[in-house]
Amino acid sequence: MEKFLIKGSSSKGVNGLINCSGAKNAVLPLMASSILFDDTVTLTNVPLGANDIQTMIILLKSLGSKVQIIKKKKILKITNKKKHKLLVKYKYISTMRAGVLAMGALLGKYNKCSTALSGGCSLGPRPIGYHLAGFKKLKCKYNLNKGYINIISPSGIKGGHFRFPRVSVTGTSNLILASVLANGITTLKNISIEPEVLDLIKFLRNGGARIYNTGKRTIKIYGVKKLNGHQHEVIGDRIEAFSYLCAAAITKGKIKIKRIDPKHLTTELKVLKKIGCNIKVEKSSIELNRKNNLKTTNLKTAPFPGFATDCMPMLMAVLTKAAGKSKIEETIFTNRYMAAPELVRMGAKINIKKSIAFIIGQSNLNGADCISSDLRSTFAIILGAMAANGESCISRVYHGLRGYSNLYNNLKKIGVNIKKKS
């Protein structure tokens, strides 16, 4: 099992340029949506180095899709020449929650499917109940048997009305996928408006789907007979961009991120400015240069356009170097503070009380043996190791490799003293 060895330095900040990968959280729903198309779907700017993408490729192939990979150009071509299998097996989605999106796509096209309950990061309860309640409004029936959800619409998917009790990114995508080919009109309220969801809507619209914004967090979907295959460029990964910006913030360095839309990080960039980082924004790039000492802040995570929960672990790591007390309240996931105990092992002063992290900053961090438990905590621990004195050994970095394409090489590129260890 691969480990990272990182030698930190308090005197040398990272420096360099990162070309942002395509967004993992955008391309996975796009790949799942390809099930709805009879023609070839072409996706460009795909982060092929992220393990979750490879898992989704295997999943689609297991269902009967033909997937062509053009590695050098970061392109996927997905073609459906025959009817798909309607069983999504556990082994294909045990490590990837996005696999549940195959349920919405299969249901939308074939009116039935069986899907294993999915895995992914250990972030506490991530209930699929919202998805199922929404499917029920589309005239579906379901049962749970031996870890599989069996769902069917005996008379075919029909338009319905559903309001999400809480904003759900995956739930929104799943209900959209189930509705685009439905008979009638579907209204979805209190939907997610994350950039990745809007990218999915744009992709489906360009293929012929009739999806309209009708109010705040509300869309109407008029069912169509078929979707037409086309080419689509995946948006830049805002979480990856923020992660590398934090690398410069915590080490007093300078970094430029290209191929990213700054509007997707408006709230997060305001926070980085507030804590003392100099930010320069252009149309498709962000540059961070930290010259001064970091300042404290208090914030809550929230659905977009609020501060992203996926960005919170990295900011928590950065705030260990800010003089004074900071407070972060996590409102999305119950187990989002998995990096905190590992940062404490390095000497950070972080106290977790229920959903709130209290951080007393400007700690002297020292290298330590650490274990990663989820995708974003991996990068947060890496940040701590970069700012620490001495060497840190980070185990189970495969969690980070699920979502960060070319992670090791990018870290080396910006000057991190890093080695791999088996």
Catalytic residues: 121
Sign of CA dihedral 164, 170, 172, 177: negative
Please state, in angstroms and rounded to a whole number, the distance separating the CA atoms of residues 109 and 177: 9
Residues 6+ apart with CB under 8 A from 270: none
Q: Which amino acid is at 197?
A: V
3-state secondary structure of 73: helix
Sign of CA dihedral 254, 257, 258, 263: negative
Cα–Cα–Cα angle for 120, 122, 123, nearest 5°? 110
Cα 167 to chain centroid distance, Å, stands at 15
Residues 6+ apart with CB under 8 A from 358: 325, 326, 327, 350, 351, 352
Please state, in angstroms and rounded to a whole number, the distance separating the CA atoms of residues 353 and 329: 10
Whether residue 154 is preceded by a cis peptide bond, meaning omega within 30 degrees of 0, is no
Please state, in angstroms and rounded to a whole number, the distance separating the CA atoms of residues 174 and 169: 9
